[in-house]
Structures are given as C-alpha cells and as structure tokens.
Amino acid sequence: MSFWSTIFWSEVWFEICWYLFLTKERKKYAGHTPLAPLETIFFITLTLGVSFVIVHIYVAIREGITSRQSIVSKMNSGMQNFKDERGE
C-alpha cells in the first residue's frame, strides 16, 4: 500500500475512527496498522523537537553560568553584558 494512495488514507481514517470509538469492529492486519507509520513519524519528530529544546535551554543556561557573557539576560533585555571589565 502506497503512502499516497487513497486506500492507505481510507485505512488510516478507519483506524482513527476505531480509536475514537466510532466503529464497532476492528479490521485485522497481518502486520502493523496503516496508522503505525504516521505515529512513528509523529513521535520521532516530536521527540527530536523536544530534545532540541531541552539541549538548547541547557546550553544557553550553561553558557551564561560558565562564560563571560550573560546569554540568558541578553535574550531577555536585548543588552550584551559581560561578567568582567574586559572588552571583547
């Protein structure tokens, strides 16, 4: 079954209806349901996006603590501040 075929998308819609209790009987599949590839793509994308945000926040806070620059306050105020008196 092709990702772009109408049969695939009608099967996906059927699975969504099944999970929303809109159908009474479930279809039998030899392997994964047609909804499985979409779930995988969604969760991988979501997981990678959540991982990016977590790493980005960690790096910004760590950089603000360990370096001369106050990156987090720069994001809030728009002003570049240094923790010491040396210039750039």
* Residues 26-80: tens digit of each pLDDT: 888 777 788 888 888 888 888 887 788 888 888 777 777 766 666 666 666 766 6
Number of domains in the chain: 1
- Locate 77 and state its tokens: 């105020």
Enter the pTM of the model: 0.52
- pLDDT for res 82: 65
Give a yes or no: residue 62 inside a domain: yes
Give a yes or no: residue 83 inside a domain: no
- pLDDT for res 68: 63
Residue 2 vs residue 86, higher pLDDT: 2
Give a yes or no: residue 84 inside a domain: no
Residue 40 vs residue 84, higher pLDDT: 40
Which residue range(s) make up the domain with 14? 6-77
Written in H, E and C, the secondary structure of the chain is CCCCCHHHHHHHHHHHHHHCCCCCCCCCCCCCCCHHHHHHHHHHHHHHHHHHHHHHHHHHHHHHHHCCECHHHHHHHCCCCECCCCCC
Amino acid, single-letter form, for residue 51:
S
